Amino acid sequence: MEFLTSDLDQSLNYVFRNGLKLNQPFYGCDGVDGFALGQPRQYVGAYFLTVGVVLLIIYIPCLIVIWKSDLMKSSCYKIMVCLGILDICCILTNSVTTGFLGIQGATFCSYPLFIYFMGSLGCGCWMGSCASCILLGINRCCDVNQHLRIRTIFLGRKMYFTISIPILYTIYSTFFTKPIIFNSNYMSWFFNPMLPGHEATDYVNIAHTINNCVVSGATTAIYAYLCILLFAKSKHFRSESISKTQTQIFFQSVLICSFNAIAAYIYVYMQFFYSPPSVVLIGQLAWQCAHGSVCLIYITMNKTVRRGVIDLVVPRVIRDKARIGTNRAANIARPILSVIGMEPKIGGTTRTGTSSGTVF
């Protein structure tokens, strides 16, 4: 309870309640040169910054295409748009901001208010995306096994109440829990700003620890159950294409869940124990992959979204000459069944796949 109550005076709500001033006993930088404490990491920083910008360039058009399409009639895609917005906010922190600060060799006292704000945003959206990921997994299970009673929470107007849960959780995590703080020496984010005169226990975020432990276990269990269901159903079909699809779903589910689990466990471990820089960097890369992998699956495996993005960003004159996009197609091809979506309605029926999001 001591750690939970301390969040009120060490979280973003305190900053707004006190005229954008940080809590000095815990986040005071008087006489501290943040750049002197850091280490410029030009190459690693350039990697994170470049990859972050590329992911945003891919992810934002994908969300626009989904938002404008009939896919939004599906509860699955409503959750995925919410999850996508949270992913973008996390990419701004774990890739773009990380790269910018790493190149400069910054630590907390280099840009205290900026790092504090981005750390709050990254931590809050991470925890919100965790809740969205679980919700999305449950939604996919309900589509595969329609006998599950919990599927009623995705029907009709109940869906808006259901989707408000990760939104409210994101608000709580952003404004009422301790932020993560960047340190260029490790090219990662910690709750401890590593200021003189303070112990690491002063900055423990219990809510984040519980979140990561619960989400890692729940996500793994949900997608394991989903894969078992899909493979069990595939036994009733002899189609080679279905067999390949089931294999693809299983591989992608394991891949995304692995990124989520690695990032979650490493970040929990880093909060309480010393971790070598190499382990910390792996955790940071896993956090980046957990959010960035979804848009890569969109653009590479979902033909409907990919063609929509082409129509959105490529001028029509070029599309006509190159014969790409949807304007030359007689029919919109079905997207490949993947862990990030489901096939659009064709002939009055809907075939479902699986979807996943992130965990940091």
Query: Per-residue pLDDT tens for 71-129?
Result: 788 888 898 899 899 999 999 999 999 999 999 999 999 999 999 999 999 999 999 98
Yes or no: say if 218 and 139 are a contact pair by the CB < 8 Å rule.
Answer: no
Whole-Å CA distances, 183 to 43, 118, 128, 149? 16, 13, 23, 46
pTM recorded for the entire structure: 0.83
- pLDDT score of 329: 35
Q: For residue 325, name the pLDDT band (cuts at 50, 70, 90).
A: low
Q: For residue 357, name the pLDDT band (cuts at 50, 70, 90).
A: very low
Q: For residue 3, name the pLDDT band (cuts at 50, 70, 90).
A: low
Query: Per-residue pLDDT tens for 145-155?
Result: 888 899 999 98
333: pLDDT strictly greater than 70 = no
Q: Determine the residue type at 174.
A: T
Q: What mean pLDDT is reported for the chain?
A: 81
- pLDDT score of 338: 39
Q: Average pLDDT in the 271-296 region? A: 84
Q: Determine the residue type at 246.
A: Q
Q: Which of 316, 355, 318, 300 is nearest to 133 (CA)?
A: 355
270: pLDDT strictly greater than 90 = no
Q: How many CB atoms lie within 10 A of CB 328?
A: 10
- pLDDT score of 236: 60
59: pLDDT strictly greater than 60 = yes
Yes or no: say if 76 and 355 are a contact pair by the CB < 8 Å rule.
Answer: yes
Q: How many CB atoms lie within 10 A of CB 320?
A: 12
Place of tokens 């591989």: 251
Query: Per-residue pLDDT tens for 91-103?
Result: 999 999 999 999 9
b/e per residue 5-15 (b: at least 16 CB within 10 A): ebbeebbbbbb
The one-character DSSP state at 349 is B
1-27+34-193+212-316 maps to CATH 3.60.15.10: no
Longest dimension (CA), the chain: 71
Q: Average pLDDT in the 51-58 region? A: 95
Query: Per-residue pLDDT tens for 13-53?
Result: 999 999 999 998 899 998 889 999 999 999 999 999 999 99
Q: Which of 210, 187, 199, 205 is nearest to 284 (CA)?
A: 187
166: pLDDT strictly greater than 80 = yes
The DSSP line for 34-93 is HHHHS---HHHHHHHHHHHHHHHHHHHHHHHHHHHSGGGGSHHHHHHHHHHHHHHHHHII
Q: From CA 191, how far away is CA 23, in angstroms rounded? A: 14
Q: For residue 69, name the pLDDT band (cuts at 50, 70, 90).
A: confident
12 contact partners, CB below 8 Å, separation of at least 6: 116, 117, 120, 174, 175, 176, 179
